[in-house]
Structure 1
Amino acid sequence: MNGPTGVLIGAGKGVIRSMICNGELKSEVIPVDIAINGLLLIPYHNSLAKQKSLQIPVYNLTVEEAKKRTWKWVMDVGRDLGLKYPFEVGLWYPDGNMTTNKFYHTFCTIMFMWLPAYIIDFLLALFGQRRFMVRVQTKISVGLEVLQFFTTRSWDFKSTHFQQIYKDISEEDRKIFKINTDDVDDYEYLKTSILGGRQYVMKEPMTSLPRSRIQLRFLYVLDRVCKTVILCGLLYWTSMKLGLIDLVRYGISTVKH
């Protein structure tokens, strides 16, 4: 549930409505099996060195510059895939956003994340059920705060040592221990991440997809109806405060007389 996968799941469930992120910055997201293969190969590669370095070597596993995707691309594709392969029983329609404006983010977090969490926990307490939403929201907020350190800064990791490993190992080892990202299909990778998170993290079987799509359509209609009612209510309240309602009402009466 940590990192980008947790964000995709949280956004797909409609729990995460806003996050601080500079969409134009390049992401450094890589398949975990490639990272694990790298961890296996590093000590092996060191053991083959004829002369040990006096300094501890540092290995950075990074994506090739030409293949790096922006955070906006990752989030947009993740949102599209989340709608195509929806999760079961989401809290709300997955329609969050990312921003660099902390004031706007704080407003969205309070209105669309913390407030619903407290309301849901209050209703659960009334019906004698176990409260959990505030606890979940606290966990999500901590995770987002850690992640935003990376999504609001530009990073430039040099991976010279790690690239050397790929050059030194045999062709057979390259097939067994895949560590290059040149042929990774980014769209398919995110699709696998969404489906993997759905099945293995949330324990939601693929057979529930048709039902989840029906629930998603219902949440879409509910979301639009609620937003329309709230917007109309705000417009009516503003018109009343500015006297526009009375102006229109008395203006029509004057015309009739």
Structure 2
Amino acid sequence: MATKVLSQQYQQIEHTVYNDDTEKSEIQKFFFGQTIFVTGGTGFLGKLLIEKLLRVCYDINKIYVLVRTKKGKKENDRFSEIFDAECFEPLKKKYPNFLQKVQLVNGDCLKPDVGLSPESKKMIMDEVTTIFHVAATVRFDQHLRSATYINVRSVRDLLRMAKQMPQLKGFLHVSTAYSQCPKDDIMEQFYSPPITGEHLLNVVESLKDETITKITPILLGNWPNSYVFTKAIAESVIEEEGRGLPVAMIRPAIVTTSAKEPVPGWIDNIYGVNGVTAGAGLGILRTMPADPDKYAELVPVDFVINIMIAAVWNRAIGMSKEHQNKTIPVYNYVLSSWQILTWSKFFDLAYKYGIECPTTKAIWHFCFALRPNPIMHELAHFFLHTIPAYLMDLILLCIGRKAIAVEGYKKVKKFLNVIAYFAKRNWNFGSENTQQLLSTLSQKDKELFGFDLRGHSIDNLIKQGIIGGRIYLLKDPLETIPEGRKKFLKLKIAHYIVCGFALYFLIRIALLVFKSMF
């Protein structure tokens, strides 16, 4: 009965499709007839940006999507890779022929001019009116050369192309709320970089990989990894190269599952907190280095898409000759500007809703805790991750299968060390520009492109995220919830039996040691 109710609650809001109205909103009117160029269109943000533009602003002329060429892959295969995702189902129902408005363009942000051929570059420069630069490397441990090419050079090259685009109306760059993470206060402004974009490019282009690796810690300084460091440098490139252009920049925090659109709870990756909740639900992640009282700056992906669209619209309509030298607007989009959510509350709610719909793919009972103390976390990692990993590999080898657990948990440890920096700190984010942007939207645009998180239920967001993770990440449909609950109970019993035996043997060993000493 509970499963049926949960399924009905989820499906009531599952496919949000706006009906066509005779009167278009201001943002819809702005995008009428536009030709758009999207980088990062195969990623999480990019897919939902394309989906939203086509579903709500179908009167656009065309969307060019930058994609990397893959050996043996035909164009139809690349279309399928992008548009077979569940997030496009509402769009397919509303506009079955939407692919007529999409054209893939071969390129690569690792290469100069984002890898565009001379013909493609000319086409983009002649036809495009709005650019959404979403592409970025999201690997925190990316080699500095690659991170610089993808996150810095691509920005510079696109802006230089934009200067030669006669029809350009808007350029939106997606940064990150943590680009200036060495600072305690992050306002909606540009900051002086530790090194200019040109200087950094000269460094990585003139040195060998081994040398770059050696000097990377010196270059990073107070930045914890190459991702946020190169994002900070990219912002300075935006400020320098974007003068006189209709450029806007947003800094979203930790982007998580969709709140409402196009389907609630949609997710297609295990980066960041998505990987943590999935790993905990599967029973393979049991400790996380985080301060329970620090803020979990989670923002739903569909709200991020909305502020991206609103930001480029607002910049375009306010851009006139007398305004061309005005400061490029920066928008911080973080949860704490609207509501407060701590890591402790987040995982309490995740557990609450996780046990309502446990996955059938769990391999062990939920046994997860936040540990702010690094020593306690390392001990927990050793006893709860490393030792079980060796035991699992021993079993795998005994049955003739490849040992994978130890190597897997080494990657887990690396991942946890990366996110610890962000889960143990709070920042004071300014949001005046973001609040002002919201106030400029008409009532209709607030309904279509709203990003106000004040009235949105955090409980509901996390609940949808847990359900969405089960469906879209773990590929475990709601119909298997009864089976998942049975497995949850069995694993719970097994867990406490193992804990009981472990405690028994520890006591026996302690007694033997005690007797031998006296």
Whether the TM-score (by the shorter chain) exceeds 0.5 is yes
Q: Is the deviation greater in 109-118 or in 69-78?
A: 109-118
Q: Does residue 37 of the first structure (1) align with residue 306 of the second (2)? A: yes
Contact 2:393 2:404 in 1 (8 A): yes
Q: Does residue 191 of the first structure (1) align with residue 463 of the second (2)? A: yes
The structure with higher relative contact order (CA 8 Å, sep 6+) is 1
Which ranges of structure 1 fall in alignment gaps of 5 or more residues? Answer: 248-257
Corresponding residue to 1:101 among 350, 366, 373: 373
After superposition, what is the alpha-carbon deviation per residue over 1:17-45, rounded to whole angstroms, capped at 9, x for unaligned?
Answer: 11111111122111111011111111111
Which structure: greater helix fraction? Answer: 1
Count of residues in correspondence between the two structures: 245
User: Aligned residue for 2:249?
Assistant: none
User: Aligned residue for 2:294?
Assistant: 25
Corresponding residue to 1:48 among 297, 300, 317: 317
User: Aligned residue for 2:282?
Assistant: 13
Residues 219 and 5 of structure 1: CA distance in aligned 2, closer, same or farther (over 3 Å): same
Corresponding residue to 1:167 among 439, 442, 453: 439
Contact 1:64 1:182 in 2 (8 A): no
- Aligned residue identity for 1:140: V
Aligned-residue sequence identity (percent) comes to 25
Contact 1:23 1:70 in 2 (8 A): yes
- Aligned residue identity for 1:26: Y
- TM-score with structure 1 setting the length: 0.89
SS of structure 2 residue aligned to 1:30: strand
- Aligned residue identity for 1:200: Y
Q: Shift of the alpha carbon at 1:213?
A: 0.8
Contact 1:64 1:181 in 2 (8 A): no
Q: Output the CA distance in 1 between the equivalents of 2:373 and 2:481.
A: 35
Q: Output the CA distance in 2 between the equivalents of 1:64 and 1:111.
A: 35
User: Aligned residue for 2:429?
Assistant: 157
Q: Output the CA distance in 2 between the equivalents of 1:241 and 1:64.
A: 52
Which ranges of structure 2 fall in alignment gaps of 5 or more residues? Answer: 1-269
Which structure: greater strand fraction? Answer: 2
- Aligned residue identity for 2:509: W
User: Aligned residue for 2:400?
Assistant: 128
Q: Shift of the alpha carbon at 1:66?
A: 6.0
Q: Output the CA distance in 1 between the equivalents of 2:390 and 2:510.
A: 27
Moved over 3 A (4+): 52-55
SS of structure 2 residue aligned to 1:163: helix
Q: Output the CA distance in 2 between the equivalents of 1:125 and 1:172.
A: 61
Corresponding residue to 2:488 among 196, 206, 216: 216
Q: Shift of the alpha carbon at 1:102?
A: 0.9
Contact 1:2 1:143 in 2 (8 A): no
Residues 138 and 243 of structure 1: CA distance in aligned 2, closer, same or farther (over 3 Å): closer
Q: Output the CA distance in 1 between the equivalents of 2:337 and 2:326.
A: 30
Question: Cα RMSD (Å) of the superposition?
Answer: 1.9
User: Aligned residue for 1:86?
Assistant: 358
